[in-house]
Structure formats: structure tokens, C-alpha cells
């Protein structure tokens, strides 16, 4: 049984949290003082501690206590609660190694989810440490059947970023936790979701992928939850929604951040109650699915901006997997290039030549804003334009990858003393920094810089930033 310690000088909070968590099957103890908590921590090992930031004993507040817990019991996950949020304190505590810093009052759902998440996190990180020392995968490339039944070469990679990603997948896949997959466009989020499914106990059941970005507000409810015949104009036949289609398996919701607030509310209800109600009916159909979602925008930011429901975010985010960009795994480029060469050879029905060192150099220095998808497309184009078995040179590269273009996009020539040029350089640097910060999402970059998308496009054009 997992053990949790509650530390709060308000006894009512201790009692309430104890009640909520005991009901969920945890063994819960409490202390109304930091000194008392320290004594208990010396006598017993806890999986998690929920601790108030402002404790009455002056010398041991939440910050000191969390530091002492790290020393005494590094495997214990610490959540600091506060009634007075302060970003600086939050940063300091997170740097100290606490798991989360949360604002009171907490709802029962939040408490339960936090407990699940912190304990899962601690378990995974201890397993991760033992896996970290294992040698790299013997087969960094393997054949995978895509959700559409096609065989494709899947590159696991051997870079540190890739190995960390696959350790996370391996650990999270067999659980039934909901997963949020974050990463830039084209990094392989859907492939990761599919991998999680194939390594789970649901692998013999369906994997259903829905692109929420392409669903209109009207269609979303019916696509997800289904509809009855005649439920609305045009509903000439009853339709089974994605939730029912995925019964027993995994439902992957891509670009989840694009769902309207109304649909988010229905989705939350379905996840909580585990039943769907197709449009136009009062019938409730039980569903047993695992939900994996993906986004290329920062969902936490969307929660802060009020565009994404926080309760839904907490429900979905039982674990986060961050998929690295191709820039963060350039070490894996040769593996990707070899796998895509083989793929294109099959697609074209002929053998193709090797790419030259010069082309590799370009690949290593290019930003790959479209990530693995972009590389795959570039490889298709290279081989389509080259003749059988002839080496592929930079002459075959698309315009944006021509060495001259790459160079001109990395600096702005001109007289350094010229004031106009100084401001252009500053603008150039700022735009690139912001773009990198938002993983090359142009709408988000424009919003952060307080300009409209059109202005950003004009600036990218004049500053010769090729994305």
C-alpha cells in the first residue's frame, strides 16, 4: 500500500485530505507541525508528502521541510501547497526538486490526481535511473505496423534524447494512465502514441486516432461520441463515435488544444463517468478506453490563458511525454536517413544512391522546423530527382536547404554601425528566440510578440528567416 504524509497546521485540512486519500486506498498519516513531520519521516518511509508552505513552526516552513525530505528520503515525492501563490517561491521549490507547487483550496479530484501523478512519477524516475545505465538499444531501427496496417521502419535512435524518450514510453505503456504527448509538429507524436498502444495490454484492441484540429465545432461531438439517425439535419444514418470505435483499446486525440470549450466539457464528463451519450439520444453506453492526447502548443499555457479547461488538463495529464525535435537528436540523422532511403526505394521500386557528406553537413545545420516529417519529404524529393544509384549532392536539395540560403539566413549582412541594421539584428535575434521558445509555432510567436501573423510573415520574409 502506498503511503502519504499530510503536513498542515490546519487540522481540518489534514482531516479532509486524509479522508479523500484513504478512500482511494492510500495509507495516510498527518502532522500539524514541520518538526513533528520530520520525526515521522525519520521513522517511516513515505511515497509522497503533501506539505503546506506556511507552517507555524518558524524554523521549519514548507521550503525547509521539502529540503530536509530530499536529504532524508530522496525517493519521496513532495507537493507543496500554498494559499498565497508566488512564482519566485514556486521556481525556487521546483529547483529544490519538489514535484509540484499547488494553490489551495484543492478539489478532491485534484488531490487524487496529484497523489497518483506524484507516486507514478517517483516510481518511474527510480526505474528510469536503473534503465539509464543499460546499454543503447541493439536495434535502433525496427519494423512497425502503422495504425493503417502499413509496415514502416521505425527509428528508435541512439541519441540521449531518443533513449530518454523510449525509456519513458517503455515505462508508461503497460500502465493504464492517460498520457499527454508534447512536441513540435512532425516530431512523431502520433507514432509515439501508437508505440504506447502496441506496448500496452490493450495492443490487440483498436487504436483510433482523431485529429481534433480538423474537426469543426459542430462535427466534433458527433465524431467523438457518435449520433443517432435524424439527430440533426444530414444525420441520415446512426454513427458510432471514436470512443465506441476504440472500445477496449486506445483513443488518440491529436491537437487536443483545438477542441472548443463546450466539447472539452463533454469530454471531461465522458472521461469521468466512462459512459458516452451519442448526439440525439439519452442512451448511455459504457466505454473502456485509454486516452492519449497530443499537442504542439504548450497546454499548460493554454490553461493559463483560459483556452483549455484546467480540470480536463489534470484528468488527461497523468503523465507527460516530451518528444524531442529533430534538432535535439541530430546524432540520429544517419539512422533516419538510412531508414527513409529504404522506404523511398520501396516506394519508387528502384535502388538509390548514397547521400554525400556535403548533404549530411547541410542536414546537421538545418533547423528542421517540420522535423521528421520534413526530413522524410526531403528524402523523397532527393531520390525522386536523382538517378539510379548516383550519389545525392547538394544540387538536389530544395531551395530552403541550399547551403547559400542557410548561410544567408543565419546572419544579416550590412554595416554594423548603421542604426537601422542594429535594430534589424535585434529584431532578427528576438524573432528567432521567440520562435524557438514556442517550437516554431508562428501563431503563438506572433501572439507573444504582440504582432499579427501577417506582420510576422512579412518580417520573416524581409529578415530572410526561412521556415
Ligand X SMILES: Nc1ncnc2c1ncn2[C@@H]1O[C@H](COP(=O)(O)OP(=O)(O)OP(=O)(O)O)[C@@H](O)[C@H]1O
Contacts 24+ apart (CB under 8 A), 272-278: 272/315, 276/225, 276/226, 276/241, 276/243, 276/244, 277/225, 278/222, 278/225, 278/226, 278/227, 278/228, 278/231, 278/238, 278/239, 278/241
62 is a site residue for ligand X (CB under 6 A)? no
191 is a site residue for ligand X (CB under 6 A)? yes
Among 359, 430, 434, CA closest to 394 = 359
Site for ligand X in 356-385 (CB under 6 A): 372-373, 376
Nearest approach, Cβ of 436 to ligand X (angstroms)?
17
183 is a site residue for ligand X (CB under 6 A)? yes
Site for ligand X in 225-254 (CB under 6 A): 254
Q: Which stretch binds ligand X (CB under 6 A): 80-88, 189-197, 270-278, 425-433?
A: 189-197
Nearest approach, Cβ of 410 to ligand X (angstroms)?
25
Distance CA 391, CA 444 (A): 40
Sign of CA pseudo-dihedral 96, 102, 103, 104: negative
190 is a site residue for ligand X (CB under 6 A)? yes
Site for ligand X in 136-165 (CB under 6 A): 152, 154-155
Nearest approach, Cβ of 112 to ligand X (angstroms)?
30
Partners of 290 in the β-ladder: 250
Site pattern 285..324 for ligand X (x: CB under 6 A): ---------x-x----------------------------
Distance CA 102, CA 62 (A): 12
223 is a site residue for ligand X (CB under 6 A)? no
Nearer CB in complex with ligand X: 365/373: 373
Instruction: Provide CB contacts within 8 A for 451, sequence distance 6+.
Output: 459
Q: Which of 186, 249, 257, 324 binds ligand X (CB under 6 A)?
A: 186
Cβ-contact 160, 222 below 8 angstroms:
no
Closest CB to ligand X belongs to which residue?
Answer: 188
Nearest approach, Cβ of 190 to ligand X (angstroms)?
3
Distance CA 360, CA 158 (A): 18
Cβ-contact 35, 93 below 8 angstroms:
no
Nearest approach, Cβ of 207 to ligand X (angstroms)?
12
- Looking up cell 495529464 gives 317
**Residues binding ligand X (CB under 6 A):** 152, 154-155, 183, 185-191, 254, 294, 296, 339, 372-373, 376
Amino acid at each position: 500500500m502506498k503511503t502519504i504524509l499530510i503536513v498542515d497546521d490546519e487540522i481540518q485540512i489534514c482531516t479532509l485530505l486524509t479522508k479523500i486519500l484513504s478512500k482511494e486506498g492510500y495509507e495516510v498519516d498527518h502532522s500539524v507541525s514541520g518538526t513533528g513531520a520530520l520525526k515521522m519521516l525519520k521513522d517511516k518511509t513515505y511515497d509522497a508528502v503533501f506539505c503546506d508552505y506556511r507552517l507555524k513552526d518558524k524554523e521549519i516552513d514548507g521550503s525547509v521541510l521539502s529540503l530536509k525530505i530530499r536529504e532524508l528520503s530522496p525517493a519521496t515525492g513532495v507537493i507543496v501547497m500554498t494559499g498565497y501563490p508566488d512564482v519566485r517561491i514556486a521556481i525556487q521549490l521546483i529547483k529544490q526538486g519538489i514535484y509540484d507547487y499547488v494553490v489551495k483550496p484543492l478539489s478532491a479530484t485534484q488531490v487524487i490526481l496529484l497523489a497518483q501523478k506524484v507516486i507514478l512519477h517517483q516510481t518511474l524516475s527510480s526505474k528510469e535511473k536503473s534503465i539509464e545505465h543499460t546499454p543503447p538499444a541493439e536495434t535502433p531501427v525496427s519494423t512497425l505496423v502503422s495504425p493503417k496496417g502499413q509496415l514502416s521502419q521505425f527509428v528508435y535512435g541512439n541519441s540521449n534524447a531518443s533513449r530518454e524518450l523510449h525509456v519513458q514510453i517503455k515505462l508508461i505503456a503497460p500502465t493504464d494512465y492517460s498520457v499527454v504527448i508534447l512536441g513540435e509538429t512532425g516530431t512523431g507524436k502520433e507514432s509515439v502514441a501508437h508505440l504506447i498502444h502496441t506496448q500496452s495490454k490493450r495492443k490487440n484492441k483498436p487504436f483510433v486516432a482523431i485529429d481534433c484540429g480538423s474537426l469543426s465545432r459542430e462535427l466534433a461531438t458527433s465524431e467523438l461520441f457518435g449520433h443517432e439517425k435524424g439527430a440533426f439535419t444530414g444525420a441520415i444514418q446512426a454513427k458510432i463515435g471514436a470512443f465506441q470505435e476504440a472500445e477496449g483499446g486506445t483513443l488518440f486525440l491529436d491537437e487536443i488544444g483545438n477542441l472548443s470549450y463546450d466539447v472539452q466539457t463533454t469530454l471531461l464528463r465522458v472521461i469521468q463517468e466512462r459512459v458516452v451519450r451519442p448526439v440525439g439520444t439519452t442512451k448511455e453506453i459504457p466505454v473502456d478506453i485509454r486516452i492519449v492526447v497530443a499537442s504542439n502548443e504548450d497546454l499548460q499555457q493554454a490553461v493559463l490563458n483560459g483556452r483549455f479547461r484546467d480540470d480536463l488538463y489534470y484528468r488527461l495529464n497523468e503523465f507527460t511525454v516530451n518528444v524531442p525535435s529533430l534538432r535535439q537528436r541530430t546524432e540520429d540523422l544517419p539512422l533516419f536517413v538510412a531508414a527513409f532511403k529504404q522506404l523511398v526505394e520501396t516506394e519508387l521500386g528502384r535502388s538509390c544512391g548514397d547521400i554525400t557528406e556535403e548533404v549530411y553537413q547541410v542536414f546537421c545545420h538545418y533547423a528542421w522546423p517540420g522535423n521528421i516529417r520534413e526530413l522524410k519529404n526531403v528524402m523523397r524529393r532527393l531520390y525522386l530527382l536523382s538517378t539510379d544509384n548516383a550519389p545525392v549532392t547538394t544540387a538536389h536539395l530544395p531551395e530552403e536547404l541550399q547551403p547559400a540560403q542557410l548561410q544567408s539566413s543565419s546572419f544579416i549582412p550590412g554595416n554594423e554601425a548603421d542604426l537601422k541594421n542594429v535594430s534589424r539584428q535585434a529584431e532578427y535575434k528576438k524573432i528567432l528566440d521567440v520562435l524557438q521558445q514556442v517550437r516554431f509555432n508562428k501563431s503563438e510567436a506572433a501572439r507573444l510578440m504582440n504582432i499579427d501573423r501577417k506582420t510576422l510573415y512579412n518580417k520573416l520574409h524581409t529578415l530572410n528567416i526561412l521556415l
